[in-house]
Each structure stands twice: as C-alpha cells, then as structure tokens.
Chain A
C-alpha cells in the first residue's frame, strides 16, 4: 500500500459534506452535496471531474482547498491529512494547493492593478524580497503569454480570456504542486478556450503540476484529462482512463452524458451510445432517491436499483464503476447486450 500512496498527490477517502438548511418535524434537513467520495490524483496527472450542475463537483473542489470543512472523511495531501478548513491549515500546505475559479470577472479585484493582484501570493507564500517582485511578476506574465504592459492595467479593461490567464498566473505564483481548475473555460468562447487549455497543458509539463479539472464539458475532458471521474448527486459513478472512457462507457449515466454531447464529425457520432438518450432531470440533493441515486432516469433499471445502493466495482484495472448491472456481470461473466 505504501508504494501507491507515494505515487498519489491527493487522496480523498469517504469524503462527505452536508449543508444544514433547516428543520422539519423529522429533524434537521441537509443538502447532501458530497456523499461519500473516494478519489485519488497521481503526481503530474490531470483528473477530470465531470457532472451536471448540482452534482457536487464544486463542493469537492472547495473542500480540497479548504473553503469548507468536511462533514466526515479524509483528504490526504502528500500523505498528510489536510481535511480541515484553510484557517487551520499550515501555510506550507496552503501554498501547495491553488485554485482557478470559473468566472475571472468576479475572482479578480477590479480595484487593483494586475501587478497588485499578482504580488499578493508572492508576499504571502514566497521568500522573494520586495524589490524583486516586479521582475518575478513580469516572469509570471510571460509564462501566460501576456506582455509586461499588463502590469498597470485593471482587470476590468481586459478581455475574458486574458483575465483567466491572469487568474492562472496568480495560481502559479506560489509554485504549487496541485491546481484545482473549477470550470476555467466555460465562460469563454471556443477559440479562446483552445488557447488557455493548451497553455495549461504546457505549464503542467513545465512545472510538473497535477490538475483536478472540474467541468461539465465531456469533449474537452477527452482532450485534456488522463483519467475522468463522473459524478452524480454527490457520488462518483465511474472512473476510467479517458480513452477507454469514451470507447467503452459502462455506467448508464455516462452513456447518457456521452450521447448528449453535440459533435461535429461522423467519427465522433459513432462513439455516441444509441440507447441511453437523455430523459428526466437531476433530483434535488435534499431528497436523494433511495437505492441507486440514478435509477429514476436509468434506461436499464432493475428492481434492485430502487432498494440497494450499488458498491464500487473494479470492472477492469483502472476502470471503476458503481452500478448493479456490473455486479451481476461479475458473478455470471455475461456479456452485456447493448
């Protein structure tokens, strides 16, 4: 076991995050945003976390950076438990985990210049003397292909793509080893998105970074992530390497997601599962259905699905799925008809 832990930069075990929203006769009401999640990220890897809105993917991100305290479960970062809110973490562990938010318009302070924005992480997390700040900031801007002219600009005067580049430079400033990207390009156009994604991939190689990439865009994940985890109502449905993931999606929800992605070539169209077309909507995380949380929308529903919550099954190495269909398969070794 020890060898695997060395290889992993982040290990999330049985993570739960409930939000208390009120009371009724039966007792307190909780939003079960994250409900028992196991995940791990290896060194230098990109893990894509995909799900619909309300599935709890951002809650995981915020818990990992320490914006929330987990209800239960552990977050192991480089072998050390970091499952607490940021105010109780050591400065050195905060330096290691950085985040880029979805909307750069609200994550950058418009009252500050870009120089001021980028100076803050340097002041807090590095030992660089103050007189060398400018040099370092210009270096950071060069990393994200922005010219030194941007030093004195305000974020309100530059475009969305450039703003996100500044946010990325800010996350890179303390020299972290894990960056959480919370839908970094979903507010941007595709041509701008392409530029940012390529920059992120280059920086990952250059600085040996690990990414937790959160998004709802499956086709983007295919081109960025090494492994993909699908999340539905606070639980992980399926984890696999990104190529196998699209060639052989197992979980009915994964199939539904892939079949919903609009595509531009015939080659891609062949990858889309035919049977699992999208029906229904994601239920509220206050009333998670009994049994498998997906059974209300599932085209392969069985009687067991509404009673028993399925376990995680290792279908093949590095391919984990949480569905009763494959529990049966394991016993009988049957081929699933599609």
Chain B
C-alpha cells in the first residue's frame, strides 16, 4: 500500500515487549504516531511511559535479543522499517534520521576530540563527499560550518577540544551539530534540554527551532514537560503506559484537554502566574508484566466505567486534529 506523499513517518499499532525473567514486559501497547514532512511533533509523557522505546524502535536500536515486536508497522517514506535489511537500516540511520540524546555527556566519547567525532559523522553520512585528495580538508570545512551554525564560539579551536573540556550546553550544541551536519529528513530529539539549566534549555530549544525551520526538517521532540512541547511543536502526542491517549495541536490541547490523564497532567504543572498546584494524579504506572487488560489508565481514573477494563479504547476523532483514546468521548 502506498501512503500519502507528504507523510514521512507513520507508526501503526506498534507493540514492543521486553524479555525479562518471568515473562515479557508489555511496554508498548498499540502506538499510533504520524509525522508529516517538515512537521514538529511533540511526544509527551512521564518517565517510564515508553517514549524512548518508541523512538528507539524507529531506528531499530533497541537492546539486541531482549525485545520482541509481536505486532505493528513503522513506515518511513512508505517503506516498513521492521522489514528492512541491515544495509537499508544503516542507510536509514546514517542518511535519513538523526537522533539527539538527553545526556550530552554520555553521548560524546571523552577519549576522542570533537573534530574526530563530527568528522566521522560527516564521513559516513554525507553524500556530497567523494573519494578525492582534499577529503580531509573538506570534512574539516564542513565541521567548522556546522559548528558555526549551532552558534558555538571559536569553532576551529572547538575541533581539537575533548568533550570534557566543554560545558553541558556546549556539549549539547555539539550533539546538535552532529545531528544536522548532513542533510537529513527527520530529527529525533530525546529530551534535549532536560539535563540543562532553564536558561540553557531555552537557548537550545530556540536553536533547534531555528534550524528545523531553516532546513525544513521534521522533528520529533520527546519531553516530559508539556510546557516545552507547547512552545516548540505543531502537534502533541500524549503518551501513557505505552499507549497514545490524546493527540491534538497545542492550541486545542491546552484549551480543551479531554482525556482524564491529560487533564491531571496539565493541572499538576506549576504556573508562574500562581494559583497553587492540584493534588497530582493518584496511584502509579501499572506493572508492564501484568498490565490491565482494558484501558491502561483505568486503575488511576476517577471516571472509570465497566467497559474500561474490558478492552483498550481506540483513538477516536472528536474534532479536527484532535484524537482521544477514551470511552468517555465515545458514548
């Protein structure tokens, strides 16, 4: 089946299980996610809800041997990633999709200088390079150009620095430079500002936004902060315990949240205009070893009904650009 032209990535009903002692952790339970070309998509959820697992399954970099995908499809440009050969996957990872990780300190190797690390990315990912005598110089030139683009001061000197000589914000800029140094179509940013201070996070987010707009790259921004997603994205997916519970544009989502989980999450966010904080959401994430058979939020939900524990609700369009997986909306 050929998908629509402007859809870049389409995840359909993805299930991912992890093999552990005593069975399978059923982490992802039917994730639907779609990214159009040049679109900025936010994936919001609390720790342990499967955000990173979803992203890692797009690139097929889940821990080898420990996972099992019973069902689901991931279409990238109409091609199913789960059926790709190793060579095709390598191409996907090097030329098409780039990923920025949460902790830049762990993402950079402390025993190689920055120049080598960026150079390697350019060498293995860029189509513009051909076998010629000036290759080394060309790589250096390109590295300097990208480092300038992420507004790092003194890029020439930066190339011979080790990662431990840089501050957290600078390291994250280097990681972004590595992600954008070749033309790619999709950028996955996994909590790019979480380990940094607010002022630095603000700078990194503005930088990412600028770059994405300039290059017309699609971006999936994974974050646990609704506020960051609101300021950065065109569409937000809210994830809970391995399922997408609600998706909408930021304007709709923040004005009219429908799913009880989204509502609880929004009320828990402290506001700079004051007014106190709600009491949070009672209970905790269900065990993935024996998850509830129906809606996974049902044990914590205050508006549950008998149907909720029977089978999981499907995403349902309640208005344009606003999909909710909850039986409350379908009655």
Contacts and interface: CB of A to CB of B under 8 A. Distances in A.
B271 A191 contact: no
B265 interface: yes
A262 B197 contact: no
Given A262-B230, A264-B227, A198 B167 contact: no
Contacts of B274: 222-223, 242-243, 246
B200 interface: yes
B269 A260 contact: no
B46 A190 contact: yes
B261 to A, nearest CB: 9
B43 to A, nearest CB: 15
Interface stretch (A24-32, A62-70, A85-93, A211-219): A211-219
Contacts of B197: 52-53, 216, 282
B167 A281 contact: yes
A135 interface: no
B46 A281 contact: no
A223 B270 contact: yes
A191 B230 contact: no
Contacts, number: 123
Contact of B199 (A197, A198, A256): A256
Contacts of B63: none
A223 B276 contact: yes
A282 B168 CA distance: 11
B202 interface: yes
B227 A197 contact: no
A273 B199 CA distance: 13
B127 interface: no
Interface stretch (B33-41, B154-162, B278-286, B312-320): B278-286
Interface string B276-314: 111111001000000000000000000000000000000
B231 A262 contact: yes
Interface string A257-279: 11111111101100110000111
A120 interface: no
Interface string A143-163: 000000000000000010100
Interface in A220-257: 220, 222-224, 242-243, 246, 256-257
B225 A195 contact: no
Interface in B195-239: 197-203, 205-206, 224-228, 230-231
A335 interface: no
A338 interface: no
B280 to A, nearest CB: 3
B254 interface: yes
Interface residues of B, number: 41
Contacts of B201: 260, 262
User: Which residue, of B206, B267, B272, has the highest number of chain A Cβ atoms within 10 A?
Assistant: B272
B273 A279 contact: no
Given A194-B268, A279-B203, A262 B227 contact: yes
Contact of B277 (A198, A261, A282): A198
A260 B273 contact: no
A286 interface: no
A257 B280 contact: no
A298 B75 CA distance: 48
Given A197-B277, A216-B198, A190 B269 contact: yes
B271 A268 contact: yes
Contacts of A193: 268, 280
Contact of B271 (A189, A224, A265): A265
A192 interface: yes
B183 interface: no
Given A222-B271, A260-B199, A191 B280 contact: yes
A194 B280 contact: yes
Contacts of B273: 222, 246, 265, 267-268, 271
Interface string A83-109: 000000000000000000000000000
A278 B197 CA distance: 11
A281 B206 CA distance: 15
A20 B226 CA distance: 42
Contacts of B46: 189-191
Contact of B47 (A189, A264, A268): A189
Contacts of B205: 262
A97 to B, nearest CB: 26
Given A194-B279, A223-B274, A261 B198 contact: yes
B268 A218 contact: no
A194 B203 contact: no
Interface string B239-281: 0000000000000001000000000111111111111111111
User: Which residue, of A190, A193, A242, A261, has the highest number of chain B Cβ atoms within 10 A?
Assistant: A190
B227 A198 contact: no
A258 B202 CA distance: 11
B265 A190 contact: yes
Interface string B164-200: 0001011000000000000000000000000001111
Given A192-B280, A222-B271, A281 B169 contact: yes
Contacts of A257: 198-199
Given A194-B277, A267-B273, 15 more contacts: A190-B46, A191-B281, A197-B277, A217-B198, A218-B198, A219-B269, A222-B272, A223-B270, A224-B270, A243-B274, A262-B201, A263-B231, A263-B272, A265-B273, A278-B200
Closest 7 CB pairs of A and B: A194-B280, A262-B227, A260-B202, A195-B280, A194-B268, A278-B199, A189-B46
Interface of B: 46-47, 167, 169-170, 197-203, 205-206, 224-228, 230-231, 254, 264-281, 284
27 contacts: A52-B197, A52-B198, A52-B199, A52-B200, A191-B265, A197-B270, A216-B197, A217-B270, A219-B272, A222-B271, A223-B271, A223-B275, A224-B270, A246-B273, A257-B199, A258-B272, A259-B202, A262-B202, A262-B227, A263-B231, A263-B271, A264-B271, A265-B254, A267-B273, A271-B272, A278-B203, A282-B197
